[in-house]
Amino acid sequence: MNPCSHIQSRPLQKFSPTGHTSVPQPAKSQPMSIWRAIMKKPRTAVRSRPRKQASRQEGREKRVLSSSQVKPPTPNGLARRQEEVVVQASVSPYHLFRGTAEVRAFRENLLRWYDREKRDLPWRRRAEGEVDLDRRAYAVWVSEVMLQQTQVATVIDYYTRWMQKWPTLQDLASASLEGVNQLWAGLGYYSRGRRLHEGARKVVEELGGHVPRTAETLQQLLPGVGRYTAGAIASIAFGQATGVVDGNVVRVLCRVRAIGADSSSALVSQHLWSLAQQLVDPARPGDLNQAAMELGATVCTPQHPRCSQCPVRSLCRAHQRVEREQLLASRSLPGSPDVEECAPGSGQCRLCAPPSEPWDPTLGVTNFPRKASRRPPREECSATCVLEQPRAVGGPRILLVQRPNSGLLAGLWEFPSVTTEPSGQRQRQALLQELQRWAGPLPATRLRHLGQVVHTFSHIKLTYEVYGLALEGETPVTTTPPGARWLTREEFHTAAVSTAMKKVFRVYEGRRPGACKGSKRSPVSTPSSRKKPSPGQQLLDSFFRPHIPRDAPSLNSTAQ
């Protein structure tokens, strides 16, 4: 055994940012101080090949949601380096990369694997082939925002349609928020699209049409851009040698350096950022960052890692621990194998798992990282009604109203809804009053309860009690107050509505008279009538349950 019982202080190896760009002249109306901040660029001309990554971890949306608040000043490079030195001064060498040889081996092995195995993704192709730096940064920016908490397979189609509709920042800046919400509908975490739209308008209207060139100025000047997104844009689009940490990188680094403490804690978070900065390749910073994320997404996965295919397995302390445990279990060798482990001089190492959570041999490398305990989402109930005019001029129409411009699902359209208690007569009365506010007097006796939809947002489990009301014999409503509109079914399916509202509408369609005639599919039952559901009914019920991605976590994040 070769324990490391001493604590060592080693400042991080710091590299000069790299990249190249030509600096256009500022507009006369542009304040020079802002212009210098925007156009601050890497000093040496080494271009990275911009390529992008995999599914994002759940935590990053918190930065997006909190971006409407005043941002604290971004620490400059010197301040961050001082933070990194302080962190490393209190960390066992077991959790560090030692010397340039080990760092170089990690880079070379990872980049060689990435060049051979990287996925062909539309944002990578677009950024790689783009000569204009602002267009390249825009291509990376859009992909990074979409990939926050959303899987790659889902993002590909949205990204392709987005870039076809708004190929440049100027195109996006001139778009309406309604149009942005409409294209974003179904992608979730809608504040991301709103912040992206706000950022494009700021670049065009206030920053002379040029995206800030460094991670520090990107985070400081653009709404919705946090530390990770800023580092990704700066390294991939502009070649700045700055590391990034997303959920995939957290997993890779925690396993490679056997970090078992809570990865969401401030100490562990800062240590991971320090490691990422130490590892970033000054010649290919964007590729190195993407390679680390790609490794976490495709090989070093949360539940079933493929260690035999890992390019940095020889440097992975978690894998070394697994091998040691296997040797000890087999009793094929006397004594203990010579495998290094953390042994701080006194007390419990703050980067190791606490004594209350010992190593579980059945988990192998998935002992790392430690899963942070999460609060369950709070539960709320909403009554919502699909109000339809079957005999409206031009065909049947349904009523939608617009949500407020802030808060959950801001600016999206929905069926008239009220937050209520889970059940009772007051629920019907409150909903009827809300309907009459938008459509005038209504026949209360026709308000029918149709079923239930449960949709879980990141922090709210929302149960929709679904009602329906058809205005069969009444005079069609031709005028509506601001914030409401009547849409055909075709218009509804292309409108800026949330996934939850589409689920609500499917319940309504399944329960309206005649909807299921000639169909083998049974209608959705109400809770009161549901006794012994058939297998087909159980399948239908599960269809209306929301899909919650499992592989979606990170540092710093909540969502809308």
User: What CATH code is carried by the domain that includes residue 402?
Assistant: 3.90.79.10
Total count of domains within the chain: 2
- Average pLDDT value for residue range 211-239: 97
Kindly state whether residue 146 falls inside one of the protein's structural domains. yes
Separation CA 491–CA 297 (nearest Å): 37
Lowest mean pLDDT of 65-79, 238-252, 353-367, name the range: 65-79
| CATH code where residue 295 lies | 1.10.1670.10
Q: Is the pLDDT of residue 249 over 60?
A: yes
Q: What percent of the chain has pLDDT over 90?
A: 51
Q: Is the pLDDT of residue 204 over 70?
A: yes
The reported pLDDT for the residue numbered 317 is 95
Q: Is 17 exposed, middle or buried (0-12, 13-18, 19+ CB in 10 A)?
A: buried
Lowest mean pLDDT of 45-59, 480-494, 496-510, 523-537, name the range: 45-59
> Do 304 and 220 reside in the same domain of the chain?
yes
Q: Are the CB atoms for 431 and 401 separated by under 8 Å?
A: no
Lowest mean pLDDT of 47-56, 94-103, 185-194, name the range: 47-56
- Average pLDDT value for residue range 97-113: 95
Q: Are the CB atoms for 258 and 271 separated by under 8 Å?
A: no
Q: Is the pLDDT of residue 49 over 60?
A: no
> Do 184 and 215 reside in the same domain of the chain?
yes
Domain boundary among 471, 491, 510: 510
Q: Are the CB atoms for 204 and 171 separated by under 8 Å?
A: no
Greater confidence, 415 or 338? 415
Q: What are the backbone dihedrals phi and psi of residue 456, each rounded to the nearest 5 degrees, phi first?
A: -105, 120
- Average pLDDT value for residue range 34-60: 42
- Average pLDDT value for residue range 474-483: 78
Lowest mean pLDDT of 123-137, 154-168, 267-281, 487-501, name the range: 487-501
Lowest mean pLDDT of 146-150, 242-246, 283-287, 470-474, name the range: 470-474
Q: Is the pLDDT of residue 81 over 60?
A: no
The reported pLDDT for the residue numbered 88 is 54
Kindly state whether residue 177 falls inside one of the protein's structural domains. yes
**Average pLDDT, whole number, for the chain?**
79
- Average pLDDT value for residue range 26-41: 47
Give the start-end residues of each E strand in 36-96: none
Kindly state whether residue 293 falls inside one of the protein's structural domains. yes
Q: Is the pLDDT of residue 520 over 50?
A: no
On the question of a cis peptide bond just before residue 369, with omega within 30 degrees of 0, the verdict is: yes
Separation CA 490–CA 12 (nearest Å): 58
> Do 395 and 432 reside in the same domain of the chain?
yes
Give the Å distances, CA to CA, from 74 to 214, 219, 226, 506: 12, 7, 10, 47
The reported pLDDT for the residue numbered 107 is 98
> Do 421 and 294 reside in the same domain of the chain?
no
The reported pLDDT for the residue numbered 557 is 36
Kindly state whether residue 56 falls inside one of the protein's structural domains. no
Separation CA 551–CA 125 (nearest Å): 25
Measured torsion, CA atoms of residues 77, 79, 81, 85, in degrees rounded to the nearest 10: 180
pTM of the model: 0.70
Tokens 């005639």 — which residue? Answer: 517
Kindly state whether residue 5 falls inside one of the protein's structural domains. no
Give Cα 306 to chain centroid, integer Å: 24
> Do 281 and 187 reside in the same domain of the chain?
yes
Q: Is the pLDDT of residue 20 over 90?
A: no
> Do 220 and 313 reside in the same domain of the chain?
yes
Most confident of 43-57, 184-198, 302-316, 381-395: 302-316
> Do 360 and 221 reside in the same domain of the chain?
yes
**Banded pLDDT at 558 (limits 50, 70, 90):** very low
Q: Is the pLDDT of residue 527 over 60?
A: no
Structure tokens at 195: 């912040």
Q: Is the pLDDT of residue 4 over 60?
A: no
Lowest mean pLDDT of 199-203, 255-259, 445-449, name the range: 445-449
Q: Is the pLDDT of residue 75 over 70?
A: no
**Banded pLDDT at 421 (limits 50, 70, 90):** confident
**Banded pLDDT at 162 (limits 50, 70, 90):** very high
Q: What percent of the chain has pLDDT over 70?
A: 72
Residue 65 carries which side chain, given as an amino acid letter? L
Kindly state whether residue 394 falls inside one of the protein's structural domains. yes
The reported pLDDT for the residue numbered 458 is 75
**Banded pLDDT at 545 (limits 50, 70, 90):** very low
Q: Is 109 exposed, middle or buried (0-12, 13-18, 19+ CB in 10 A)?
A: middle
> Do 395 and 320 reside in the same domain of the chain?
no
> Do 415 and 295 reside in the same domain of the chain?
no
Q: Is the pLDDT of residue 260 over 50?
A: yes
- Average pLDDT value for residue range 521-537: 42
> Do 281 and 184 reside in the same domain of the chain?
yes
Q: Is the pLDDT of residue 99 over 60?
A: yes
- Average pLDDT value for residue range 489-511: 91
Separation CA 228–CA 231 (nearest Å): 5
Kindly state whether residue 159 falls inside one of the protein's structural domains. yes
Kindly state whether residue 108 falls inside one of the protein's structural domains. yes
Return the active site residues.
144
The reported pLDDT for the residue numbered 549 is 40
Q: Are the CB atoms for 237 and 161 separated by under 8 Å?
A: no
Range of the domain at 400: 378-510
The reported pLDDT for the residue numbered 89 is 52
> Do 194 and 239 reside in the same domain of the chain?
yes
Q: Is the pLDDT of residue 247 over 90?
A: yes
> Do 352 and 403 reside in the same domain of the chain?
no
